[in-house]
Structure formats: structure tokens, C-alpha cells
């Protein structure tokens, strides 16, 4: 009588694990590499960060965020077709953004906020001075003066390295006054996992 061999079930467990990973990375978290020094000293070039996607729907002043700057800080590209379009669609589904202009900045103003910076370089939000303890020592909130009311459905963002950041201040004269549509926010930055010597939560 032939002896029956136990069925190998590991391929199914492997497949389920991969599917869960795709769902987790595509819908819940995503990883990014910081491309510039615009967020120094909070973040540095080459830092690898984890972005919490549900956080995009519950933003607060001071949050670190990643957003898609196409059409806001950079010209919106034409929608790719053919193979390029397919690659982008698959990449997005897998949580890997392909060929998009993603920025890391700090939320300064929410919809309806009145933001001003005068010649003294002090940031005022709704008439109250903001203590920006995350800025480099001796750096003012902004060398650029502005007075703006953040439109509905949009946010005003700046980098922590105020003298070397392409942010909302650089686009005050553009439609929307340099503000970012909330639906282009990918998520909030929650954790830095590289380099290992600097790993930990971020705020």
C-alpha cells in the first residue's frame, strides 16, 4: 500500500504573506528616501523614512508629511500610456512610487488659517506667534514676508531648513498661493529607520 505524502502548504502561506505585504505597503505604510537638505536638521539627505498613509486624513500643524507636488511645486506631467503607464500603475499598487515628484515638508497652516510673517521673521498663525523649536538655532521662521489665508481643502507647508527649501513661500504668486491640495498628501512621516544610528520616531 503506497504511503501518502503530506501536502506542502508553505507556498500558500508564502502567497498570503506576500499579498498582505502588498496591501500593507500600498494602503497603510510606504517608505521614502529623503532627497535633499530642505528638512535639516530634522531630516538629512539619504535618511529613509516610513510614511503612515491614514495620517493624510487627519493633519495637524507641525506634522511632517510627504506629498505629491505635481501641479503645485512642479509641472504636472502628462499621463503616461502604454508600458510606462502600466509600470506606474503596478508600482503604485505595490507601494512603490514611480517617476513622481514627492516632497517632504512640515505642515504650517491648515484650511482657513491666517498666516503672516513680517520683517521681524516671526511666524504668526491666526494672530499668535508660533514657537518653532525644530528650526536650526538662530534661524528665523522666514526671510520672505507673506500674508495669506489658506484656502479650503489646502495646506501651507515649509521645510525646516528655511534658507534652502522649495516650499509654499516660493510659489506664493502661483494659483493657490503655493498651498498644497490635501488630496495630494500621501501621509505623515512617523519613523526613520536609516541610518541605524538615527532610527526612531519623528515629530
Which residues lie closer than 8 Å to 12 by C-beta, 6 or more apart?
none
Set 4, 36, 38, 165: catalytic member:
38
119 flagged as catalytic: no
38 flagged as catalytic: yes
Set 36, 53, 105, 168: catalytic member:
105
3-class SS at 187? strand
Q: Which three cell numbers stand for residue 50?
A: 516610513
Which residues lie closer than 8 Å to 48 by C-beta, 6 or more apart?
31, 32, 33, 34, 192, 193, 194
Nearest by Cα to 106 from 147, 156, 157, 154 = 157
Q: Which three cell numbers stand for residue 36?
A: 535633499
Helices (H) and strands (E) in the chain, counts: 2, 12
Which residues lie closer than 8 Å to 55 by C-beta, 6 or more apart?
63, 65, 187, 188, 190
Active site residue ranges: 38, 105
Amino acid at each position: 500500500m503506497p504511503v501518502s505524502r503530506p501536502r506542502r502548504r508553505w507556498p500558500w502561506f508564502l502567497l498570503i504573506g506576500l499579498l498582505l505585504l502588498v496591501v500593507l505597503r500600498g494602503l497603510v505604510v510606504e517608505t521614502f528616501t529623503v532627497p535633499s537638505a530642505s528638512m535639516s536638521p530634522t531630516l538629512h539627505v539619504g535618511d529613509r523614512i516610513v510614511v503612515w498613509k491614514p495620517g493624510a486624513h487627519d493633519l495637524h500643524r507641525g506634522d511632517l508629511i510627504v506629498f505629491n507636488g505635481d501641479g503645485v511645486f512642479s509641472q504636472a506631467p502628462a499621463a503616461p500610456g502604454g508600458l510606462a503607464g502600466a509600470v506606474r500603475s503596478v508600482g503604485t499598487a505595490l507601494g512603490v512610487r514611480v517617476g513622481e515628484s514627492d516632497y517632504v515638508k512640515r505642515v504650517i497652516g491648515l484650511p482657513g488659517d491666517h498666516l503672516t510673517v513680517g520683517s521681524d521673521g516671526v511666524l504668526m498663525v491666526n494672530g499668535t506667534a508660533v514657537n518653532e523649536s525644530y528650526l536650526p538655532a538662530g534661524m528665523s521662521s522666514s526671510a520672505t514676508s507673506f500674508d495669506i489665508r489658506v484656502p479650503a481643502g489646502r495646506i501651507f507647508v515649509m521645510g525646516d531648513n528655511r534658507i534652502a527649501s522649495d516650499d509654499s513661500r516660493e510659489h506664493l504668486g502661483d494659483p493657490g498661493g503655493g498651498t498644497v491640495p490635501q488630496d495630494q498628501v500621501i501621509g505623515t512621516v512617523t519613523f526613520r529607520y536609516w541610518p541605524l544610528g538615527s532610527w526612531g520616531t519623528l515629530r
